[in-house]
Structure 1
Amino acid sequence: MRVYLDHNATSPLRAEARAAMIAAMDVLGNPSSVHAEGRAAKSLMERARMDVAEALGAVDADIVFTSGATEAAGLACSGRDLAGAAIEHDAVGAWVRDALNVDAQGRVTVGDPATSVLQLANSETGVFQQVPAGIAVCDMTQAFGKLPLDFMASGARMALVSAHKLGGPKGIGALVLRRGQDVPAQIKGGGQEMGRRSGTENIIGMAGFAAAAKAAVRDVTDGRWHRVAELRNILENGVEAASKKTIFVGKELVDLDSGHMDGRLPNTSCFVTPGWKGETQVMQMDLAGFAVSAGSACSSGKVRASRVLTAMGFAPADAASALRVSLGLETTEDDVLRFIEAWTGKLRKHEARAA
């Protein structure tokens, strides 16, 4: 049996999202049509918009549905002179100046929030950022569904989210806009999505996104991610017992808000084993039945040295020796123990070859 431990890349479709999408497939009308069928489709769309807004603490903001967080980043950043850090996701990094400093713990120093972009939780390391009020764009993609979020309280002017990171369908996301904040449309036409994104709306994707968002918030409220954090710690303790030279990124961080020794996502472990390429580890673990990654799944299958770790001060060779393991709500202790056993076995073979 295979074990899926790459939830930061994408998470399995939730049953609630699947059911909502199947039901939406039977909604006939175009949301722009004025007849009864069209009104039914529009009602479904607006209900989904409200559900996503409520899940994000953004009921007084505009939710603009997009094809994902990448398109949302383009909408938010295009035509603006924004500063970012080298640890931002490629979807954001492609639009901003690499002008913000990153320390050895992966924390970013923001100069002017009004002209800066910041990722709330890093997709590779899981490290949290303290988001200053008034930040121009906050990338909440990895945090949404794992942490309690309140967009309005955050002070962010815009935020990016994606459905498939929290058990929704691929190909749907949203740009969250504080009222009065506007963006130039990149897709022009009929003026859908409040004039920000034209084209017939993906109501099936919206329905799945909304259902997944509601379920994800319920899981956060119920504390289900605490158990995931315990499993992550078991995994790291097992890896550390097998290899004293392995470095765990962000493991000792103190959360800036709570003061707990857990300043990163509850499901994410990024560790560096010097001299053992991450690409090799990914392939060997795949053959052993485990899906893991060497970093963010944002480069069309490319495996390369992590620029996130390089920006944090890791030597290029070490940055190329990183493995990211990201657990999900359905991950079991047996999954984790089997991973430790398989990874340790591969490590011993690597050490024997290197001797």
Structure 2
Amino acid sequence: MVELIPPRLDVEDDFENHADLPVVKVAAGRVKLDERAKIAARQHVCFRQRLSNPKYVEKSAVAGHAVRNQAKERNAHMTGNPIARWGFIFRSVRNYMSDWVDHWNSNDVLLWKNEPGHVSTEFTYASPHFDRARNQYELTDYAISLKAVLDGAMMLGVGPRVGGYDPFALGMIIDLQNQHRREGPNVGNVLVEAFDPSLSSFPAGTKIIKRDRYDPEDMILQARQDPVARGVLKHLGFNGPDYRTLYSLLDWMESEGWTEEQVAAVTEQDAALVNIFTGTANNVTILGPLGRHGATRSHSGKTPKSIMTLSDAQALILPAAKAFLRSRAETFDATGSWPVYIKPKKTKGSAKKPSAV
């Protein structure tokens, strides 16, 4: 049996044809694979096929914890059947990280601990959506883009306690076939598509919400196909929950037919608070460089009568954004299609109240 040699990841060719991995380069220019590598490559392709198999999706819904534990076990042993080719190492000393990773259950974003025991400080972030990368720069682009979706889902998941979630930074690139690590660009283009189109189709009957809760894993699954969810999560995750981002989330909700009353009703508050929020976010006198507009667009620098703190703004907008995305997921679960809001035409004497279809 030929001993595997870690491939050189500093050349473009190492990322090509990686569906048949692992490829071993030898001095004479020949390519060899041992039997174990062939088996791993076949299993890797089979997993990608299972993602679009209705029976596999149904099994995942019924036995989600079992599937998660199997994935952890496969990736923890550095040989056999890794369910993604590429990953990134990250470190965290936050107390919640190990427990969060232990309970994480997603086919799109894979997370696991790299150290034994209950608490770990080193983790791996991986995804089958990275497998289309042809070089380390595309790999980092896909990782940055998907991580923005992940961070946005986590921020909506914790809601008003958003300060408790600390987005991790990407570390070294890791080849999950042979555990070879190398430094990567660390800076990528968030504008690229986060999800591999070949893995993003939904089998008939797919349900986004499989239990009473609407968790970050559900939001990420939804973002595969729902462009509104994908935009909301990526925008929030990449920019963070500041005034300008929160106003952008409000724009998304209102553009899809949600009124100020609906936004405020999620947290059982008065719709007038939405106006206080927008007045604060628009005012450069209060927020300076953090304001949404410059001095010419903030009422000539006039200070509004009421000011909303950032924590109060987060407590108002983030739960509403989560409820907004959940309403879209519930509509999809009931109808098999995403809701489309049609803005009513303004006619003389017509009501201005929006309606959705």
TM range (shorter): under 0.3
Choose between structure 1 and 2 for higher RCO, CA contacts under 8 A separated by at least 6 residues: 1
Compute the TM-score of the two structures, normalised by the length of structure 1. 0.22
Q: TM-score if structure 2 supplies the norm length?
A: 0.22
Point out the structure with the larger strand share: 1
Higher helix share: 2
